[in-house]
Amino acid sequence: MVVVAEFCQRQHWEPIVLKRVDVIPKNSGKNAERNLELKEIIFVIQSQSQYFHKKKAEDLKENILKQAAGISKEPPRVLYLHEVMKNEGAWTILPVIPHFADSYGNSSSWIFFCEEDTTVRLQKLLDTLQTFDKSKNWFLGKALHDEESTIIHHYAFAENPSVFKYPDFAAGWALSMPLVKRLAYVLKNEPPNSDFTIDLKHEIALYIWQKADGQALTPVPAFCTYNPDSTKATNCATTFNGSLPLCGNPVNKDDIFVAIKTCRKFHKDRIPVVKKTWEKDAVHFEYYSDYADDTIPTVDLGIPNVERGHCGKTFAILERFLRSTTPRTYWLIIVDDDTLISLSRLRKLLSCYDPNESIFLGERYGYGLGARGYSYITGGGGMVFSRKMVRKILNSKCRCYSNDAPDDMVLGMCASGLGIPVIHSPLFHQARPMDYPSDYLSHQVPISFHKYWNIDPVKVYYTWLIPEDKEDLRANKHLREDL
């Protein structure tokens, strides 16, 4: 029997049992219709509206259309996901599936999704899709699976996590139009019932499996995440540039202020880890606690400690950041005392963003996006604010409804109310490295991880968030793809 744990409320999971559904064997491809044309493929780039991300999506679209001009007289449609529908939850994809079915159901055979940094080799992709019967239901991608049951997937399939496969978005993934139409019908009658969107790729695969008679992901070897220049990528239809973004010089250390949230009971356990790892890379930083300890030192913000949420403390940090009591910097980073972060990598990433814009950056989650909800940056992986964003939040009427309200979610509501989209980076992580498939992390240069539970956090830091000189060696030689 397969057991799936489904999210019931924030930080509470209650297991439910799903009925086992035997997957009907699918067409092997030998008799597949092979008259697929480029114009039958809808390319959807999982884009974001912020300039840096939109520019990458535009470059990818231009490259796809340039390749198409040498293959066919009729080019494919290439869409930006953030422009498909004016919907806060469009990035979660399922809400726009009915739109794809209604708008392209009679003229297209495939919807192919990819990320901004995915490289598409168009002829190889066309040849790959030709091997599948476009009149059948297909869910194609590079398969990932959990190596152990994990909190980020609500401990789904706890008896055997590896049995359930879900797509690595970086390699691209595809839905045949018959499956799109079927999902559209289901979605109109049974919208997803989970309040939270945490790991989209897993949640989409689970929804398809549950609602389409056990439709499983079909692994496609040609969908790859090797570096485009790798010899391993020769037969790949897709590849992925997993190098750390860098747009000019890294942000100066003096331009970043780091706020570490802690409390008295963790002073002896957690703060020594921060001091052994990443604190040395910070020029401006303060520890914020419920107790002033001169040996660390910590700053008592006058906010009593609470067991969860910490919204009162976070807003006190935002207010202090704008006062003369802290150095005037362009950027504010708020982390937990059990967050492991590479500030040197973050400085490179921030070179791609304008601090004079309203920037709110990190790992994006969603709440209630099926019913006028909002996106938010999950706090454990680190929340990055431009000074302008902090000022906009505090100038608004958005505030905590209690000291123990979830700070990251309240800030997401604030951003949504201001009409400012949060910016997602998959390089920030709310959980530990072992909570993610190793194949998924192998094409990343991660910026952060969270939680010290059942790990040696110092070892994790020096394994995954290595200092600058080793990082450059690792990234330049693409060593991750050989892990």
Q: What is the CATH number of the domain that holds 95?
A: 3.90.550
Both tokens assigned to 295: 């040996």
Determine the Cα–Cα distance for residues 241 and 227; give it in Å rounded to an integer.
5
Per-residue pLDDT, averaged over 289-314, amounts to 91
Among 207, 240, 273, the domain-final residue is: 240
**Do residue 235 and residue 259 come from a single domain?**
no
- Which residue(s) pair with 300 in the sheet? 289
Determine the Cα–Cα distance for residues 268 and 263; give it in Å rounded to an integer.
10
Determine the Cα–Cα distance for residues 174 and 44; give it in Å rounded to an integer.
10
Cα separation of the two ends of the chain: 33
**29 part of a folded domain:** no
Determine the Cα–Cα distance for residues 449 and 426; give it in Å rounded to an integer.
11
Which pLDDT value is given to residue 134?
A: 97
Chain-centroid distance, C-alpha 201: 9
Determine the Cα–Cα distance for residues 160 and 456; give it in Å rounded to an integer.
26
**Do residue 222 and residue 321 come from a single domain?**
no
**Do residue 66 and residue 98 come from a single domain?**
yes
Determine the Cα–Cα distance for residues 466 and 468; give it in Å rounded to an integer.
7
Determine the Cα–Cα distance for residues 65 and 77; give it in Å rounded to an integer.
9
**447 part of a folded domain:** yes
Write a three-state SS string for 65-90: HHHHHCCCCCCCEEEEHHHHCCCCCH
**Do residue 200 and residue 333 come from a single domain?**
no
**Do residue 328 and residue 421 come from a single domain?**
yes
Among 180, 215, 240, the domain-final residue is: 240
CB 300 within 8 A of CB 273: no
**380 part of a folded domain:** yes
Residue 194 pLDDT exceeds 90: no
Q: What phi, psi does 389 have (nearest 5°)? A: -70, -40
Which pLDDT value is given to residue 306?
A: 81
Which pLDDT value is given to residue 469?
A: 55
**Do residue 60 and residue 114 come from a single domain?**
yes
Both tokens assigned to 357: 């814009």
Q: How many residues does the chain have?
A: 483
CB 347 within 8 A of CB 282: no
- Kindly provide the b/e burial profile for residues 206-236, where b requires at least 16 CB atoms within 10 angstroms of the residue's own CB: bbbbbbbeebbbbebebbbbbbeeeeebeeb
Among 210, 240, 270, the domain-final residue is: 240
**99 part of a folded domain:** yes
Both tokens assigned to 98: 């009915």
- In 419-475, the DSSP E strands lie at 423-424, 448-450
CA dihedral 429, 431, 436, 440 (to 10 degrees): 10
Domains: count for the chain: 2
**Do residue 268 and residue 211 come from a single domain?**
no
Both tokens assigned to 398: 């958005």
**28 part of a folded domain:** no
* pLDDT tens-digit map of 12-22: 343 433 433 33
**Do residue 116 and residue 74 come from a single domain?**
yes
**Do residue 214 and residue 80 come from a single domain?**
yes
Q: Is the dihedral of CA 443, 445, 447, 451 positive or negative?
A: positive
**Do residue 216 and residue 329 come from a single domain?**
no
| Contacts of residue 308, Cβ cutoff 8 Å, sequence gap at least 6 | 11, 404, 406
Residue 146 pLDDT exceeds 60: yes
Q: Among 15-29, 57-71, 404-418, where is mean pLDDT lowest? A: 15-29
* pLDDT tens-digit map of 307-363: 777 899 999 999 999 998 889 999 999 999 999 999 999 999 999 999 999 999 999
Q: What phi, psi does 381 have (nearest 5°)? A: -80, -5
Range of the domain at 367: 253-482
Closest to 212 measured CA to CA, from 174, 190, 183? 183
**331 part of a folded domain:** yes
Q: What phi, psi does 312 have (nearest 5°)? A: -60, -45
CATH number at 343 reads 3.90.550.50
How far, CA to CA in Å, does 476 sit from each of 227, 229, 479? 11, 11, 8
Runs of H (alpha helix) within 322-419: 343-350, 387-395, 407-418
DSSP per residue, 372-394? T-EEEE-GGG-EEEEHHHHHHHH
**75 part of a folded domain:** yes
**Do residue 297 and residue 184 come from a single domain?**
no
Please report which confidence band the pLDDT of residue 101 belongs to, taking 50, 70 and 90 as the band edges: very high
Chain-centroid distance, C-alpha 162: 21
Determine the Cα–Cα distance for residues 76 and 94; give it in Å rounded to an integer.
22
Angle at 452 between CA 460 and CA 439, to 5 degrees: 45
Runs of H (alpha helix) within 239-395: 271-276, 311-321, 343-350, 387-395
**178 part of a folded domain:** yes
* pLDDT tens-digit map of 207-259: 999 999 999 999 999 999 999 999 999 999 999 999 999 999 999 999 999 99
* pLDDT tens-digit map of 31-54: 445 689 999 999 999 999 999 999
Determine the Cα–Cα distance for residues 208 and 215; give it in Å rounded to an integer.
6
Q: Is 282 helix (H, G, I), strand (E, B) or coil?
A: coil
Percent of the chain with pLDDT over 90: 81
pTM of this prediction?
0.90
* pLDDT tens-digit map of 405-452: 999 999 999 999 999 999 999 999 999 999 999 999 999 999 999 999
Determine the Cα–Cα distance for residues 62 and 64; give it in Å rounded to an integer.
6
Task: Give the CA count within 13 Å in the CB-facing half-sphere of 451.
Answer: 13
**Do residue 63 and residue 205 come from a single domain?**
yes
